[in-house]
Amino acid sequence: MEAWQKIKVVQKGKFPVVGFIKDPSGVAALYLGKKEGKDLVYMGKVGTGWSQTTSAQIRKALDTVVSPKQKLTKTIKKPKATWVEPKFFADIEYRDITSEGLLRASSFKGLSKGTRRS
């Protein structure tokens, strides 16, 4: 008898943080983008993978780069969002990218300050 094995493929990526949703002590979710040529496109959000402590640290970092308007090339409607300059990058593990171009089953693994590359 043959046994089927389900193997989950986990992909990793670094995505610029373009906004976040506040929660009382930190962040409830991060909105992520991706550079495509000169464009910054929306890639979806991540709302899991951090502790309360990490959440508070993320919030502290992002509060330093808050922007009055979103930096995405094509604006999206997210009434709860606090927009930020895309200076921080989230290390994300995800399963897939949907047909709409959004991350599927994403989980946060870390935050790093971006370096400018032209």
How does pLDDT run across 8-23, given as a tens digit for each residue? 788 999 999 999 999 9
| Number of independent structural domains in the chain | 1
Is 46 part of any domain? yes
Please check the confidence at residue 57 and state whether its pLDDT lies above 80: yes
Residues 6+ apart with CB under 8 A from 112: 14, 88, 89, 91
In this prediction, residue 114 has a pLDDT band, given cuts at 50, 70 and 90, of confident
The answer on pLDDT for 116 being more than 60 is no
- Cβ atoms of 41 and 73 closer than 8 Å: yes
Q: Is residue 5 part of a domain?
A: no
What's the CATH code of the domain at 21? 2.40.50.140
- The pTM of the whole model exceeds 0.85: yes
CA–CA separation, 74 vs 70, rounded Å?
A: 9
94-112 residue pLDDT tens = 999 999 999 999 999 999 9
Domain of residue 67 covers: 11-113
Percentage of the chain with pLDDT > 70? 96
Count of other CB atoms within 10 angstroms of residue 57 = 15
Written in H, E and C, the secondary structure of 42-65 is EEEEECCCCCHHHHHHHHHHHHCC
Q: Kindly state whether residue 92 falls inside one of the protein's structural domains.
A: yes
Cα–Cα distance measured from residue 86 to residue 32, given in angstroms and rounded to the nearest whole number = 9
Task: Answer whether residue 56 is part of any domain.
Answer: yes
